[in-house]
Amino acid sequence: MRVTTAFKRLLDLSGVTVTDVEFQPSKVVVTLKLRRRQLCCPECSFSTKARYDFRPVHSTWRHLDLGRWRLEVRASLRRISCPVHGVRTEGVPFARAGSHFTRDFENLVGWLATTMDKTAIRRLLRVDWDSVGRIIERVMATELDPRRLEGLFSIGVDEVSWRKGHSYLTLVSNHATGKFVWGKEGKDSARSTASSTSSARSAQKRSRRSRWTWAPPSRARRGPKVTPPKR
Ligand SMILES: [Zn+2]
């Protein structure tokens, strides 16, 4: 089996062909080529066969590590002229718009963010602090289930504080599923939550069985102090 074929199977990225694999002192660089001829806007569904020009430099993305090796994929991309977003580098099927990480890598960060703190993620995956925050924002923007507020009748509200009470985070959870469905920086949760989660509020109006319950503040697993809101 050729090394490019082996890496195509290992990476398991859709819509690409592996054309070259290079072992460098600190990382493995895999060169890809998009299989599709159609150019797609990274921001919307516009696509065309007409290319604007070629991007003069390679685009690179960090992929999931290969053992102790840091894995980087790169590709030479074209540019597209979108009637809405103007001239942009074409979108790729394996990474989100504007990201230097593959979708698989970002999804891993997003999942880890639900189970460990940001410092641990940063050290485990060897990414900087700001990148972790931006990745989580992108994952939230695209992967959050838009139906999570449907059938929401019984909720719990928690306020998490850190930095000695100077920063607060208000979290709303669905008692039926035990999952958080909404969150926002700041406190005064009862009022802000009621005004902001319009879907939850409309769901409450639709059913007489609906009830707003106050969940007893639970101490977060990783230690941030949880305090109940002031009435
Ligand atoms: Zn567009």
CA 79–ligand 1 middle distance (angstroms)? 12
* pLDDT 10s digits, 82-105: 999 999 999 999 999 989 999 999
CA 87–ligand 1 middle distance (angstroms)? 9
Ramachandran bin of 153, using left for φ above 0, alpha for ψ from -120 to 50, beta for the remaining angles: alpha
- Ion ligand 1 — residues with CB < 5 Å: 41, 43-44, 46, 82, 84-85
Helix ranges, the chain (H): 3-11, 103-112, 118-125, 129-143, 189-196, 198-206
Residue 191 pLDDT: 52
What is the value of pTM for the model shown?
0.71
Residue 188 pLDDT: 63
Among 109, 102, 37, 103, smallest CA distance to 73 is for 102
Residue 194 pLDDT: 52
CA 160–ligand 1 middle distance (angstroms)? 38
Average pLDDT over the chain reads 81
35: its two tokens: 């299989």
Read off the pLDDT of each residue in 141-152 and give the average, rounded to a whole number: 79
Contact 133, 140 (CB under 8 A): no
Contact 172, 157 (CB under 8 A): yes
CA 57–ligand 1 middle distance (angstroms)? 21
Would you tell me how many other CB atoms lie within 10 Å of the CB of residue 156? Answer: 18
CA 40–ligand 1 middle distance (angstroms)? 8
Give the CA distances from residue 194 to residues 41, 171, 212, 223, in Å, rounded to whole numbers and listed in that order.
37, 12, 10, 27
CA 81–ligand 1 middle distance (angstroms)? 8
Q: Is the pLDDT of residue 206 over 70?
A: no
Residue 78 pLDDT: 95
Q: Is the pLDDT of residue 33 over 60?
A: yes
CA distance 70 to 27: 5
